[in-house]
Amino acid sequence: MKDPIPVNLAIEDALSEFVLVKVLESLGTFAIGARYSKGGFGYLKKSIRGFNNASKGTPFVVLTDLDTYPCPSALITEWLPVPQHPNLLFRIAVREVEAWVMAHRNEFAKFMRVGLSDVPSQPDLLPDPKAKLIELARQSKSRDIRDDIVPPPNSKRTVGPNYNGRLGAFVVGHWKLNEAAQCSPSLERTWKRLAAFAPSWNVEG
């Protein structure tokens, strides 16, 4: 059995961390080291060159949302206008990591206590996956789900008070990579890229 590949993570938020860790654990070939996150894409965008350089020593997996960029290549070109080191695995959720979460449709519908037909069959095509997820939570038969995920009335919050905790529990306990990848091409591409990864310890870049 090969030794696990050491990787550091850089993520936007807690939910992205839950998902990326679950993906890496599902593959079973990585040993997760440091985790870098300061809330939002701004920190990742500002730090990406540093992660790129640091990946010469230890590979990095960076996960961010596509959001309003027209395509992943446009985001990568703007964020990293220098040669990308082979050990920097720069992955982009289309359009937000919430699409990947919803992509395991059967389990997500059960967990959220909504109808399966209400869960999008092609979440990558949604312009705002987070908004759709919150809309589904509003329809939930579970008061706990609604209270945790939906922003309180007249609140300035964009999500509920336990949004990451509740969805993180779903990812850890119910979400499966192979099932979700069937409904999310961007997740499937990330799965295949990570599965095929072999570090380049002596490559300068």
Give the pLDDT score at 1: 64
Give the pLDDT score at 39: 79
Kindly report the number of other CB atoms within 10 A of residue 204's CB atom.
7
Residue 27 CA to residue 20 CA, distance in Å, equals 11
Coil, helix or strand for 36? Answer: strand
| Residue 12 burial by Cβ neighbours in a 10 Å radius (0-12, 13-18, 19+) | buried
Residue 16 CA to residue 164 CA, distance in Å, equals 9
Give the pLDDT score at 138: 98
205 residues of the chain, pLDDT tens digit each: 689 999 999 999 999 999 999 999 999 999 999 999 997 899 999 999 999 999 999 999 999 999 999 999 999 999 999 999 999 999 999 999 999 999 999 999 999 999 999 999 999 999 999 999 999 999 999 999 999 999 999 999 999 999 999 999 999 999 999 999 999 999 999 999 999 999 997 644 4
Q: How many residues does the chain have?
A: 205
CB 184 within 8 A of CB 191: no
Amino acid in position 35:
R
Phi first, then psi, for residue 141 (nearest 5°) are: -80, -10
Give the pLDDT score at 201: 79
CB 121 within 8 A of CB 105: yes
CB 170 within 8 A of CB 101: yes
The torsion defined by the Cα of 174, 44, 79 and 131, in degrees rounded to 10, comes to 50
Q: What share of the chain is helix, strand, coil (3-state, %, to 5)?
A: 50, 15, 40
DSSP 127: S
Residue 39 CA to residue 171 CA, distance in Å, equals 19
Q: What stretch of H or E contains 107?
A: helix 105-112
Which residues lie closer than 8 Å to 115 by C-beta, 6 or more apart? Answer: 109
